[in-house]
Amino acid sequence: MDLRYPIGKLQVPKNVTLENIQEWLKEIETYTIRLRETVDSLSDEELRRTYRDDSWTVHQLVHHIADSQLNMYQRLKLALTDENPTVPAFDQEKWAIQPDTKLPIESSIKMLEGINERIVSLGYSLTEEQLDRTFTQQENGEITVATKVAKLAWHEEHHLVHIKIALTK
């Protein structure tokens, strides 16, 4: 198994349907419950564990998941409200070392609960036509709403598995 991608790289069907969207939204909807089940009772030592050499700690991963969902949610909303907006890059390495990432992970879990609730509400209202709306990311080019919803679900699951791997070491 490639520990960088323990669930594999993101794979989006060529023709995303509203049923695909609903499947991904169900994962997002239950994510913070599953995350809490995994991290709520961890000790400081366990929060310092990593899933591979030179990777982020469990503590850093939880904050990163919240930071990423925040950025991806904003991109999703921009794609739905603007005509193919260009969005800035998100330097996750620089975000990961900001002072707020020293806070207890509860702050990021609460943030995720709210963001994911908003993503799910927005996602269930999407129409077939909206799935093809786009935004342009400076480094990755044009991305559709459908692909962004897929990534919102995949990214959380990807890091939940990282956390679980770290906790087995």
SS (H, E, C) 25-59: HHHHHHHHHHHHHHHCCCCHHHHCCECCCCCCEHH
Phi and psi dihedrals of 136, rounded to 5? -115, 125
pLDDT in tens, the chain (169 residues): 789 999 999 999 999 999 999 999 999 999 999 999 999 999 999 999 999 999 999 999 999 999 999 999 999 999 999 999 999 989 999 999 999 999 999 999 999 999 999 999 999 999 999 999 999 998 899 999 999 999 999 999 999 999 999 999 8
Query: Can you give the pTM of this predicted structure?
Result: 0.96
Query: What are the E-state strand segments in the chain?
Result: 86-87, 134-137, 141-144
Helix (H, G, I), strand (E, B) or coil at 126: coil
Q: What are the beta bridge partners of residue 110?
A: none
